[in-house]
Amino acid sequence: METFVFVTNNQHKLEEAKAMLKNKINIVGLSGIGCYDNIPETGKTLKENALQKAHFIYDNYHYNCFADDTGLEVEALDGSPGVYSARYAGESSNSEANIAKLLANLEGKTNRKARFRTVVALLYNGNEFLFEGTVNGHIISERKGVNGFGYDPVFIPNGYNQTFAEQSAAVKNTISHRAKAMAQLYEFLIKNKKPTIQ
């Protein structure tokens, strides 16, 4: 079985990816290759960041690998927080502060449309491949639910009436941006289907 490095320290993401790739591909996280480096993430787009992280591992450790980057894009805020989602309220901000800033910026706005977008960059024998997954929805004005992380308590995906934080992980993991991007990666690696974005 081929081995791929998932450029992440997040055990939850790693387990999720293993399950999604149906254990047909051997996936290890950064600790699995003894990498404890501070990997730079200085891109201005999700694609740049995903490629930057994947290249760091491919160029320094020489493993086939993939990296993901996700952002929440809010229509009335011209796509913000986007690539800056993790540090929207400042460099050392947390989800609480990020949500508070988001709700403050959306106060009084009737257009609450938003989407999560994930870009996955794969480096396979030196070639770059990109995959994308999105989920459309809207931002509500107060937090609901305790599951998940990040902006989950204020995001309701289209077709549902509960926030991601009210849904079970099983439901979120079938409809989420990350699940869709990982599904594309799976289709490519297992079934040789073409990537979605350039």
Min dist. Cβ of residue 86 to ligand IMP (A): 3
Which of 151, 154, 167, 181 touches ligand IMP (CB under 6 A)? 151
Q: Is 131 in the site for ligand IMP (CB under 6 A)?
A: no
Note if 68 is an active site residue: no
Give yes or no for residue 164 binding ligand IMP (CB under 6 A): yes
Catalytic member of 37, 59, 68, 69: 69
86 binds ligand IMP (CB under 6 A): yes
Query: Residue from 150, 180, 185, 189 that binds ligand IMP (CB under 6 A)?
Result: 150
Judge contact between 97 and 90, C-beta under 8 A: yes
By CB under 6 A, is residue 184 in contact with ligand IMP? Answer: no
Residues 62-81 that bind ligand IMP (CB under 6 A): 69-72
Which residue's CB is nearer to ligand IMP, number 64 or number 98? 98
Give me the residues that bind ligand IMP (CB under 6 A), please: 69-72, 85-86, 95, 98, 116, 148-152, 164, 176
Query: Active-site residues: which are they?
Result: 69
